Amino acid sequence: MAAGKRDVRPVRNVAGAVVSTQRPTPWVTYALMAVNVAIFLITAAQSRSIMQNYAGSALFQDWALYPPLVADGQLARIVGSGFLHFGLIHIAVNMFALWIIGRDTELVLGHTRYFLVYLASILGGSASVMLFQINAVTAGASGAVFGLMGAQAIILLRLRHSPAPVITVIAINVFISITIPGISLWGHLGGLFTGAAATAGILYGPQLLGATNNREKAVTVGWVCLGVVVLVTLAIIAMRILQLRASLGY
């Protein structure tokens, strides 16, 4: 019986994730939430304030995204800024959104692909800020959350469901980003575009490259397309760093 089970191919969903008979636990979403909260508590302890944790926190000063300092070699800010938050309300809103959006997205994409889409969205948000907000100091998981919203829209399209509810939420949040001062519109848009592109690579890449008839090949092609999106985003960041170094005289 054990040998027979090994010979049976696992059932996979539209993204190539193995389908379980029981609802899997979205542990990556919970882990990301835990890391964000832990980092927030560290900054709050360092600054001795949960509302102004960005003032007096060494970790916040070291990780907040400020393009000139990234160009000066402080590369940890590119990813680290995605785990920082400006005060209790900021992290509460972002963690609630991650809890709502992340769980279902993770169950469709699978744990590893989901994590990489999340990471790619952080990179995309940072790349966009470095391109268009050179003098801004930005932080927060919002770029990654926007990336997951973009991912959900692509998933719904692939499943031939209407993405209208997700698109409506995206439009509302973009409007808020435009109208309320201090919110990084470019970080949100960069994360949104990158998360959608990464998920489109996973779900539509095998179709475009003619790999849909071979399930294993389709999964591999999806991974490759996801990797290409990550590499392109990293290349944009590297190019921008070189441009900033030249213009700032580093």
Catalytic residues: 142, 188
**Alpha-carbon span 133 to 180, nearest angstrom:** 16
Contact 93, 180 (CB under 8 A): no
Measured in residues, the chain has a length of 250
Interacting residues of 184 by C-beta distance below 8 A, sequence separation 6+: 125, 129, 133, 136, 138, 140, 142, 143, 177
Q: Which run of H or E residues covers position 181?
A: none
- At residue 170, what is the residue type? I
Q: Which residues pair with 138 in a beta bridge?
A: 65
**Alpha-carbon span 168 to 174, nearest angstrom:** 10
